[in-house]
Amino acid sequence: MPIKAVTFDLWLTLIWDSKELEEYRRLRRLLNFHKFVKRVGARGEASEHISFNAVRLAMEQLSEKVKKVYDKGRDVSPEDRGRMLFELLGIKFSRGEAAHVDAQAGRIMSDSGYHAKYPHLNPEAEPALKELKEAGMRIGLVSNAARSANTYSRMLKSFGIAQYFDELTISCEIGYLKPRKEIFAASLHALGVKPHEALHVGDLFKADVVGATSYGMNAALYTGLWHKYAQYMNPGEHIPVDFETRKRVVVEEISSLRKIPHVIEKCNKLQR
């Protein structure tokens, strides 16, 4: 069967960030959540007395708790992050209000810093997506990320590329991180294709290549944006020469998104 769908990683594939933007969003989450705590103070036990510093410390503790969840290949929704923050702060709400307040807190955790200052768009993204869509491909997003699909949908609309995507699959909503098969399965189910009918493109060998091929998908390791984080992160891992995958599964390393059609052609030839 020919390739019918292409799924993309988000960070360092379609977009990239900077330390300055990351710090800006971290501060926006902190400021916005503290304001929210003060606003709901009358409803939450002791919440009106929570200081800015207490919220900062709670967010640091939250990061450590979430890392332990990550280590198990799982992820935490924005709503659950909000609930966990309230627990760390010792704030309690009535049973009737807890779900509503947690949902509001989740939107703050997800949206803060994503209204005016977005990450940078890969200049290769729009031409590549346009070419694939014109070729009749279904296109999906499969991302390990802490923000909701609605947040990222708004970002993609601001970039002018949202119309190319048929679905967005985000780890914090699915509950599983790449390379777990569950997140790939959720994406392909939404796209209506089988693993061998799909190609996944991403910048991480383990999360994207190993994860996708373990589920039976074809994969392309994209290296074109690795240099953007080289100043403060380790470079990505190239595909090892001894890497083996399932039969009739294509794995390629590409430096340009415009090479995706060539990978698709190789996949189609192999499956004939």
Same domain, 265 and 152: yes
- Looking at 6-10, 175-179, 196-200, 242-246, which range is the least confident one? 242-246
| Radius of gyration, alpha carbons of the chain | 20
Nearest-angstrom CA–CA distance, 141 and 183: 11
Same domain, 83 and 95: yes
Same domain, 155 and 241: yes
Same domain, 175 and 91: no
Mean pLDDT throughout 101-117? 93
Residues 6+ positions from 263 with CB-CB distance below 8 Å:
199, 218, 220, 250, 252, 254
Same domain, 13 and 24: no
pLDDT of residue 233: 74
- Looking at 10-24, 151-165, 199-213, 226-240, which range is the least confident one? 226-240
Same domain, 73 and 141: no
Give me the domain span that covers residue 265. 5-17+119-270
Inter-axis angle of helices 78-89 and 19-39, to 10 degrees?
60
Matching residue, tokens 């119309």: 163
Mean pLDDT throughout 85-95? 89
Q: Would you give the distance in Å from CA 132 to the centre of its chain? A: 21
Query: Residue 257 in contact with residue 125, Cβ under 8 Å?
Result: yes
As a whole number, the mean pLDDT across the chain is 94
Same domain, 58 and 134: no
Same domain, 201 and 99: no
The domain boundary residue, chosen from 78, 94, 111: 111
Per cent of the chain over pLDDT 90 is 84
Taking only the tens place, the pLDDT of each residue in 218-233 is: 999 999 999 998 766 7
Same domain, 40 and 74: yes
Both structure tokens of 68: 């332990």
Same domain, 11 and 24: no
Same domain, 91 and 126: no
Burial classification of residue 182, based on how many CB atoms lie within 10 Å of its CB (0-12 exposed, 13-18 middle, 19 or more buried): middle
pLDDT of residue 47: 55
- Total domains, the chain: 2
Is residue 137 scored above 80 in pLDDT?
yes
The domain boundary residue, chosen from 43, 76, 111: 111
Query: Residue 28 in contact with residue 22, Cβ under 8 Å?
Result: no
Higher pLDDT among residues 97 and 195, named by residue = 195
pLDDT of residue 94: 85
The domain boundary residue, chosen from 111, 131, 163: 111
Taking only the tens place, the pLDDT of each residue in 116-134 is: 789 999 999 999 999 999 9
Taking only the tens place, the pLDDT of each residue in 11-67 is: 999 999 988 999 999 999 999 999 999 888 655 555 557 889 999 999 999 999 999
What pTM does this model have?
Answer: 0.94
Domain at 167, CATH number: 3.40.50.1000
Same domain, 105 and 239: no
pLDDT of residue 41: 65
pLDDT of residue 43: 57
Bond into 179 cis (ω within 30): yes
Which band of pLDDT confidence, cut at 50, 70 and 90, is reported for residue 269? very high
